[in-house]
Every structure is written in structure tokens, then in C-alpha cells.
Amino acid sequence: MMIQIFGIPIQALLGQLLIGLINGSFYAILSLGLAIIFGLLNIINFTHGAQYMLGAFAAWMSLTYLGANYWVGLILAPLAVGAFGILMERFMLRRLYHLDHLYGLLLTFGLALILEGVFRQLYGVSGLSYTIPEIFQGGVNLKFMFLPYYRAWVIVASLSVCFATWYVIERTKLGAYLRAATEKPELLQAFGVNVPLMITLTFGYGVALAGFAGVLAAPIYQVTPVMGSNLIIVVFAVVVIGGMGSILGSIVTGIALGLIEGLTKVFYPEASGLVVFVIMALVLLLRPAGLFGREK
Amino acid sequence: MTWNLKNGPLLGAALMLVVLLAAPHMFYPVFLMKVLCFALFACAFNLLLGYVGLLSFGHAAFFGSAGYITAHMVKALNFDPLAGILVGVMVSSLLGLVIGWLAIRRSGIYFAMITLGFAQVIFFLSLQLKFTGGEDGIQGVPRGMLFGLVDLTDTMSMYYFVLAIFLCGFWLIYRTINSPFGQVLKAIRENEPRARSLGYDTDRFKLMAFVISAALSGLAGGTKALVFQLASLTDVNWHMSGEVVLMTLLGGMGTIFGPAIGALLVVTLNNYLAGFGSWVTIIIGAIFVSCVLAFRRGIVGEILEKVRTWPTRHKT
């Protein structure tokens, strides 16, 4: 017997919701990284999408060239991407802090183009596939739907990383320093905290989050040089909708929008690519600062 | 004759006119037309970035949508070329009104992200709507007869038609910048709260500037569709929005001629590197990075700065 909701079989509905939840967890990780970076550096990191792509490629390369397994890739790739971010901050972004924030956006946009171009030159646009690690092959039949193990793992892993980040920032001493630096960096510096180092490491962490998302995404989507650039535009819209004032807000908005996108795919597939932007327009009309935002 | 900086724009305009009138006899006219279209696009974009301080990352939406509308009008509905372009301009202005009205609610980097998002909507629509032809775009757009008199399939006639459009657009931008309205825009760029406290409804001024910029971007896009007889997804893609930012940044934002020079350089670069695959993207990215790190005033901006500081440096 098929259970139906509004004429849609429940299997199809739940299947799309699952995909929505996965997309939503990627939105959550990426917008979380953007929000952390924005809080401390006041720049929007346009390279975020390219760094997500970099993470996926790093995982693919470590598997293909070094024969490293998934778990090694899951740890090494974000570290490598984070290290790249640290270099970027130290040698480029740091020179722009005294200028209008738009220059940070332009610089990171240029870097995103370079990264995308280099990988397109090396690997073409057709995409490489990364096989799902052995222990996650197959899935479980939950009676009402089929749940592939790897997809379950992606949701669990990304949500744990998101909430761990939230916990560190909102509930620990390190996080208290971080929040203080977001409010008044000069004052914190006067108390003897090395704020520039903190900024560098924070940027590195935000970027590493993008790399981590990239590794998680590698077995689900094709690994291609352009995988990040289309995603990042949606994530920007997520950030506008949520507002960058709150860590938990970024996570919740990301997941919610992923789910809404999944639902749209069931009921009105043509609009599924647009729904996030429509919501963005509505939020701008009703609550311009974003759902969790405050005017800066 | 004493050299006065105030004569600069006039002198530059005269020089530009002479060069542009003579150029098609020396260079490949289609290339020149491409440069003119992008120069107009970049100047229109600069009106917003250079004079109001608003960075739009979605200007391809206006450029590309006007291209589609013009191509559709001329090809499917047999419009006169100029009428086709004007309908394109009307549509891009309307889009500018809607997107601008929503986007000016936020400023700074949010403004950039919002415009980028809405431009992506236009991209999706261009991909999915029936009349745009999806991945193929609208091909084989006839250039037609201007007012039923001038045959635009002749390359030289087309060049002077494009030149006339460029000069009208350029003149309009010049007049806008040097009007009381333009002064208010600059005041908003320098200090928006102060402009507001002086009694200016800054949101209205920003929206008007946005619509003018969108309309002129549409003028450039519609003209380009006629020149290449093609409207395609390339022109609504976010890469295009990035390229116009680069033209303006490279030439010098907030200068009158800078964006046009930036457009010349970027179009030349694109033409030379067309056969080298992704190297175009890499080099464009590298120019972005070096502009931001090394010369933020852009080429024209740096030259003007040299000229401005020259007397003082040599007197002391």
C-alpha cells in the first residue's frame, strides 16, 4: 500500500527531504564558515566555494595519487585547505583590513577565479568520481524509505561539526575570546591576547570547514572544478536570509533552506533552483537585516 | 597654455572621438564594436560603483536580459533594430527597478551578495524560459535595416551605429555625474548618514542611480546581441558580472574614462587568450588580485594621481 500526501507518494517526498537535508547540511557548514570569518575579519570570503572544491579535490588526489583512504582524506584535506587559507590571510587579506570591506570581496573573488581556472586547466570540467568508502556502501531499508549509509553519515558528520563549532564559540573560554574579538578587537588586544594570530587561525578554521564539506561532498556529487561556484551563490543567499549575527542562526537557516528546496523539488520542480532566492527577496521585504541578523 | 585638470575630460573626449571615428579603418571593426559595447557596460556599472559606492555583483542580469529581449524582438517579431534595443532597455530598467528596490535595503557586501543572487535568478530564467532557447541561446539574429533605410549588415554602417549608441550612453553618464543629482550621489558615496541628515532621501537617489545603470547596461547588452547576432547564457552568467567589475577596477573606478580603458584591455585579453582554455580565467583572476593589492586606483586613477601630485612634489 502506498501512503500519499497531497497526491505525492511518501517515499518520493521523504527521498527529496533527505536530499534537501544533505544539501542543507552543506549550506549550514558553508554559511557557518562565512559567518565566523565575517564576524572577525569583516570580509565576505568569495573563495569559500573554491575552497570547498579544493577540499573535494584534495580528498580525490590523496586517494588517487597517495592511495590514502577516506578517513585520512577527511582529516588531511581540511588541514591542507585550512593551511592554504592561513597563507592567504597572512600574505594578502592582512593588507586590506584598513580599507573598505569591498576590497576583501574583490580579492577573494579573484582568488576564486584563479583556483577554478587552475583546476579546470588540469582536470577539465567533466568531473571525477570518488567511490563511496567501503564501510558506507549500501544502505538500510526503513520500510517507508531507503536510506543509503553514506548519506546518513554526511548528515551526522556535518551536523556534529556544526554543533561542535557552536559549542566552542558560545560555551568555552576560547569562544569567549573570539566573541570579544568580534565586538572590540582593540580592547582584547589591550588585555594581552594576540588578536592578529587569532584572526589568522579563525580564518584558517572557517576555510577548513569549507574543505571538510568538500570531502563529505566528494562521494555524493561529481568532483569538478566548478562544483563550488554555483553552490556559493546559493550559500550567499542563505547568509543574507539568516543574517550573519548568530552562529546557531546560520546553522538553522542552512538546514531549513535545504529542506525547503527539497520540498519544492517534489511539488514544483521547475522552481527548486529559484526558491532560495525568492525567500531572500521576501526576507529583504519583511526583515531586511535577516532572520537572525542585526544591523552593524 | 596652462595645463588644467578641469580640461582633462574635454580633452579626453575630443581625443576619444577622433580615435573612434578613425579606428575602423585601422582595426577589425567587429572587435571594436565588442569593445564599445563592453566599454558602455563598464561605464554604466561604474556609475554605481565609482560614484555611489555600491558594488553590484549581478550586472550581467541587465546586460544579458536586454540582449535576449532585443534578439527576440528583432528575430521573432521583426522589430526595427533600434526599437528592439529600446525594448531591451525598458526590460532591463524594469528589472533594475525591482532588483534595486530590494537590494538597496542592505549595503556593503550584503548588497553585492543580494545582487549576485538575483542575477542568478535571471540566469535560471534564461536557461528555462521557452523563448531564450536554453543552452543554444538565440542564434542568427538579423541586424536588419535601421529605420528601414540603413542596412546594418554592412559592417561599417553597423560600426557607426554602435558608435552613436556608445556616445549617447557615454554622454548621458557624463551628464549624470556632472549634474546636481551626480553631486548628491557622490555625497552618498562619501558619507551616507551625512547626506541623509542634509535632507536627501538617499534610498531614492540610490535606486535612481541603480535604474540608470541597469538601463545603460541593457543598452550595451542589446547592442551587443545585434553585433554578434547572438544572445547567449554567457552574457547572463556571473562570470560576466565579475568581468565588468574587473574592467572598472582595472581602468579606475570613479574616473570617467577608466572603465572604457579597462574594457578595452579585458576584451583584448579575452580575444588573444580565447584559444588557451582556462588560462583566461586564471589571468583575469590574477589581474583582480594584483589590482586589489597593488594599484587600487586603476590605470586612469593612478595616472590622475601622478598628475595631481606632480606640481607639489617638484616645488618642494
pLDDT digits (tens, 9 = 90+) for A67-84: 888 898 899 999 999 999
Res A164: pLDDT: 93
- Choose, out of A38, A97, A111, A113, the residue to mutate when testing the contact with B (most B CBs < 10 Å): A113
Q: Binning pLDDT at 50, 70 and 90, where does residue A178 land?
A: confident
Res B77: pLDDT: 86
Chain A positions with Cβ closer than 8 Å to B? 43-44, 92, 95-96, 99, 101-103, 105-107, 109-118, 120-121, 229, 233-234, 236-237, 239-240, 270, 273-274, 276-278, 280-281, 284-285, 288-289
Give me the CATH number covering residue A256. Answer: 1.10.3470
Neighbours of B243 (CB within 10 A): 25
Are A114 and B249 an interchain contact pair (Cβ–Cβ within 8 Å)? Answer: no
Show residues of chain A in contact with B242, CB under 8 Å: 109, 113
CA distance A126 to chain B (A): 14
Show residues of chain A in contact with B289, CB under 8 Å: 92, 107, 110-111, 114
Name which of A102, A229, A240 is nearest B55 (Cβ-Cβ): A102
pLDDT string in tens for chain B (316-residue length):
445 556 677 787 888 888 888 777 788 888 999 999 999 999 999 999 999 989 999 999 999 999 999 999 888 888 888 899 999 999 999 999 999 999 998 888 888 888 998 999 999 899 888 888 878 888 888 887 778 777 777 888 889 899 999 999 999 999 999 999 999 999 999 988 999 999 999 999 999 999 999 999 999 999 999 999 888 888 898 889 989 999 999 998 888 889 999 999 999 988 888 888 788 889 989 998 998 888 888 888 888 888 888 777 665 5
In a domain, A5, yes or no: no
Closest alpha carbon within chain A to B111: A240
Name which of A103, A285, A288 is nearest B292 (Cβ-Cβ): A103
Q: What is the pLDDT of residues A111-166, one digit of tens each?
A: 999 999 999 988 888 888 888 887 788 878 777 778 888 888 999 999 999 999 99
> In terms of residue numbers, what domain contains A196?
11-286
In a domain, A115, yes or no: yes
Show residues of chain B in contact with A43, CB under 8 Å: 109
Name which of B114, B281, B293 is nearest A280 (Cβ-Cβ): B114
Domain ranges of chain B: 27-238
ipTM of the shown complex: 0.87
Comparing A1 with A153, the larger pLDDT belongs to A153
- Choose, out of A119, A233, A244, the residue to mutate when testing the contact with B (most B CBs < 10 Å): A233
Show residues of chain B in contact with A285, CB under 8 Å: 102
Q: What is the pLDDT of residues A134-148, one digit of tens each?
A: 778 887 877 777 888
Show residues of chain A in contact with B121, CB under 8 Å: 274, 277-278
Q: What is the pLDDT of residues A14-68, one digit of tens each?
A: 888 888 999 999 999 999 999 888 888 888 899 999 999 999 999 999 888 888 8
Name which of A117, A234, A280 is nearest B278 (Cβ-Cβ): A117
Total domain count, chain A: 1
Are A106 and B292 an interchain contact pair (Cβ–Cβ within 8 Å)? Answer: yes
In a domain, A208, yes or no: yes
CA distance B64 to chain A (A): 18
Show residues of chain A in contact with B55, CB under 8 Å: 102, 105-106
In a domain, A292, yes or no: no
How many Cβ contacts (< 8 angstroms) between chains A and B? 118
- Mean of the per-residue pLDDT values of chain A: 87
In a domain, A262, yes or no: yes
In a domain, A3, yes or no: no
Q: Binning pLDDT at 50, 70 and 90, where does residue A5 land?
A: low
* Three state DSSP letters for chain B: CCCCHHHHHHHHHHHHHHHHHHHHHCCCHHHHHHHHHHHHHHHHHHHHHCCCCCCCCCCHHHHHHHHHHHHHHHHHCCCCHHHHHHHHHHHHHHHHHHHHHHHCCCCHHHHHHHHHHHHHHHHHHHHHCCCCCHHHCEECCCCCEECCCEECCCHHHHHHHHHHHHHHHHHHHHHHHCCHHHHHHHHHHHCHHHHHHCCCCHHHHHHHHHHHHHHHHHHHHHHHHHHHCEECHHHHCHHHHHHHHHHHHHHCCCCCCHHHHHHHHHHHHHHHCHHHCCHHHHHHHHHHHHHHHCCCCHHHHHHHHHHHHHHHHHHC
Name which of A106, A109, A233 is nearest B117 (Cβ-Cβ): A233
Res A1: pLDDT: 47
Closest alpha carbon within chain A to B106: A288
User: Which residues are CB-contacts of A217 (< 8 A; sequence separation ≥ 6)?
Assistant: A26, A52, A56, A154, A227
Q: Binning pLDDT at 50, 70 and 90, where does residue A295 land?
A: low
Which of A254, A270, A237, A46 shows the shortest CA–CA distance to B118? Answer: A237
In a domain, A161, yes or no: yes
As given in the structure block, the three cell numbers for residue A166 are: 557552536
Chain B positions with Cβ closer than 8 Å to A? 55, 102-103, 105-106, 108-110, 112-114, 116-118, 120-121, 124, 128, 238, 242, 245, 249, 277-282, 284-289, 291-293, 296
CA distance A236 to chain B (A): 6
Please give the backbone phi and psi of residue A200, each rounded to the nearest 5 degrees, phi first.
-60, -50
CA distance B102 to chain A (A): 6
